[in-house]
Amino acid sequence: MKIVVLGAGAWGTALAMQISQKHRVTLWARNAGHISGMRKARSNPLYLGDFPFNDQLLLEDNLGEAIHDAELILSVVPTSGFRAILKEIKSLNHKAPVIWANKGLEPGTAKLPYEVAFEELGDPKKTGQHWGALSGPSFAAELVRSLPTALTLAATDETFTKSLASMIHGNNLRVYTSQDVIGVSVGGALKNVIAISAGISDGMGFGNNARAALIARGLAEITRFGMSLGGQKDTFMGLTGAGDLILTCTGDFSRNREVGLRLAKGQTIDEVLKGLGHVAEGVYSAKEVVNRAKALHVSMPIMHEVNQVISFSKSPKEAVIDLLGREQKSETQDV
């Protein structure tokens, strides 16, 4: 099977390297200089160090050439560029299934990847072009070291989902299946915002108790939001909900947690992003989540405060004080 991976950042490269153990893979990036450098190094030193590519991993900067005879397209471009890449695929009249591994909400519209896919590729039940999400608790730096990793593949067609999952499942990578594309997309996008709050808490020295409380209450916010869109509650207790949230809030490789740590040290968001060197989706998702939550009438106090810090320069200390000062209520209250 020929698979093309779009996006040569750390995660896209790690997935391409993993899948190329079993299939022929083309890794595409728009930047010709980046592709040229990887061809020479046979690795991705810019984003992933010197882990070597095997002979089944090819490199391409021309999208048409990359997807020409691909049987599966795996998009790992940032969420801000997801719609544009789908438009390009459509303009090339390519009908291969599209799976995405990006996690976030589209800037300006607050739409999740499955909503963007529906608008750009159409209803797979009518077009026959399947699409879905690959998500779960995963750091690129661990996957390329062949450390155990588990992901969930969610698509609307059960037969297609099981068939594809079996193709990429194996070695150190376990792939579970789901039909809850909504829930899987929500969990992956919103956990990044909670991870920023966890980083702020850790950076201010609030300890393990506070971090655990943020994770638990953050999961409640994610679940409320996801269920309001039609996601299934059980999904948020699984790999792409609780699993991904815990990892991103506690792991040293978490870029979103790192954002929070730096904000807690007094850096401005512009200084944080300049020094980070990688995309941190939570920064761009915070405002979109809050705006959409208002439209859905879903209470999300933690995400609200994170957005206040990122978008309105509220001090992390003041945000924590306001969270602690909220009215006492039952743990199961939704408001």
HEC assignment per residue over 68-103:
CCCCEEEECCCHHHHHHHHHHHHHCCCCCCEEECCC
The CA distance from 31 to 205, in Å, is 40
The CA distance from 73 to 197, in Å, is 34
For residue 334, pLDDT over 80 is answered with no
Q: 2-179 has which CATH code?
A: 3.40.50.720
pLDDT for position 249: 98
pTM, two decimals, is 0.94
**Nearest Cα to Cα of residue 89 among 134, 114, 122:** 122
**Nearest Cα to Cα of residue 281 among 135, 120, 97, 130:** 135
User: What's the whole-number mean pLDDT along residues 167-195?
Assistant: 96
Q: Are 180 and 152 in contact (CB under 8 A)?
A: no
Over residues 61-96, the pLDDT tens digits come to 999 999 999 999 999 999 999 999 999 999 999 999
Over residues 1-45, the pLDDT tens digits come to 899 999 999 999 999 999 999 999 999 999 999 999 999 999 999
191 sits in the region (left: phi over 0; alpha: psi -120 to 50; else beta) called alpha
For residue 277, pLDDT over 90 is answered with no
What residues pair up with 155 in beta bridges, in sequence order?
132
183-324: CATH architecture? Orthogonal Bundle (1.10)
Q: Are 100 and 75 in contact (CB under 8 A)?
A: yes
- Where does the chain hold its CATH 1.10.1040.10 domain(s)? 183-324
Over residues 118-131, the pLDDT tens digits come to 999 999 999 999 99
- Where does the chain hold its CATH 3.40.50.720 domain(s)? 2-179
**Nearest Cα to Cα of residue 195 among 240, 135, 251:** 251
Catalytic one among 90, 191, 233, 294?
191
Share of the chain above pLDDT 70, in %: 99
The CA distance from 26 to 235, in Å, is 31
Torsion 137-141-143-146 (CA) sign: negative
Structure tokens that stand for 309 in this block: 């810090």
| Residue type present at position 135 | S
- Active-site annotation holds for 162: no
Over residues 209-232, the pLDDT tens digits come to 999 999 999 999 999 999 999 999
